[in-house]
Structure 1
């Protein structure tokens, strides 16, 4: 799946550059991960210090080093500030499966940026990492997130009851998946949503 690469794969879309997140991005990350609305379904309390953001960046690097995931920083072309992230975690190479996760600075909500970033990451997963299945685990009240997943072709498979214990409570999660063959049909216009 994730090969030993000398350079982090940079992804470009019409409006975005998705790049490696580095320590210098900590202030940008703290800006949106300290927002209660952004963190509402993240499973963690809003970040309070620059060290919280640096720990997040260290986690991104650790999943890359361990080949269990990869996380891209979302930036607007021509600007270098990270306004969100999108990527894979919990990769299971023997099953060609992973989870996708994403978050975006609230100032950029409703502009199609998360959708554009997610599409680029999904394409990279199927075409370069040779994935067969990408999963998204989404809390039922997080309507914008599951609408975003459905827009990308994800299918809701069911409800995982009390699946996670976060922030002092048990959370139910919808299990969504996108299979490679469905992605290919969407790309060819054979499958419509």
Structure 2
């Protein structure tokens, strides 16, 4: 199994629908599962293509999920980026996301030299993603109580971080 990351584009729409319609995959995501392809095409056109770091997670050349880093625009926050990912549920438990996160960690500090910190917010009930963060080398910083709203419900999140200096520690 060869794992690669590459930009997602409109030719990937059928593979995108594989995880974007997956209720299990969308459970802890900010979006609801997509119902039709036109919504997904609009998302890719409006959000993905212009995104500074949105990559397809590919297994043997085929997209099975996505991983992204959001940069902060405020001058005082430019040193931080937020990691997010989604993977089709039929690919869970194979180490794919952990490997994808590690690839991003190796690249993002080079591609975005202003970053000092990569962070991820994980729903307090999403134990699998918490484990991914730990296996990838992220540090658990603590629980942010009542930190955000997910699908209409106020949720607690666990903050994880990885610092550029962690590579040389």
Comparing both chains, which one has the higher relative contact order based on Cα–Cα distances under 8 Å and sequence gaps of 6 or more? 2
Query: 2 CA distance for matches of 1:140 and 1:166?
Result: 12
Per the alignment, residue 161 of structure 1 pairs with 145
Query: 1 CA distance for matches of 2:104 and 2:68?
Result: 6
- Structure with higher strand content: 2
Per the alignment, residue 60 of structure 1 pairs with 48
The runs of 5 or more residues in structure 1 that have no matched partner are 1-13, 65-69, 186-193
Go from structure 1 to structure 2 and tell me whether the alpha carbon gap of 1:93 and 1:20 turns closer, same or farther (over 3 Å shift): farther
Please report the TM-score for the alignment, with normalisation by the length of structure 2. Answer: 0.89
Contact 1:74–1:83, Cα closer than 8 Å, also in 2: yes
Please report the TM-score for the alignment, with normalisation by the length of structure 1. Answer: 0.79
Contact 1:30–1:52, Cα closer than 8 Å, also in 2: no
Per the alignment, residue 98 of structure 2 pairs with 115
Q: Which of 110, 125, 137 is the equivalent residue of 2:108?
A: 125
Query: 2 CA distance for matches of 1:128 and 1:44?
Result: 28
Moved over 4 A (4+): none
Deviation at 1:175, TM superposition (A): 1.1
Matched, 1:152 2:136: yes
Deviation at 1:144, TM superposition (A): 0.6
- RMSD, aligned CA: 1.7
Q: What are the superposed Cα offsets for residues 156-185 of structure 1, whole Å, 9 maximum, x if unpaired?
A: 212222222231111111111111111333
Number of equivalent positions: 165
The runs of 5 or more residues in structure 2 that have no matched partner are none
Per the alignment, residue 8 of structure 1 pairs with none
Deviation at 1:62, TM superposition (A): 2.9
Contact 2:28–2:150, Cα closer than 8 Å, also in 1: no
Q: Which of 33, 40, 53 is the equivalent residue of 2:20?
A: 33
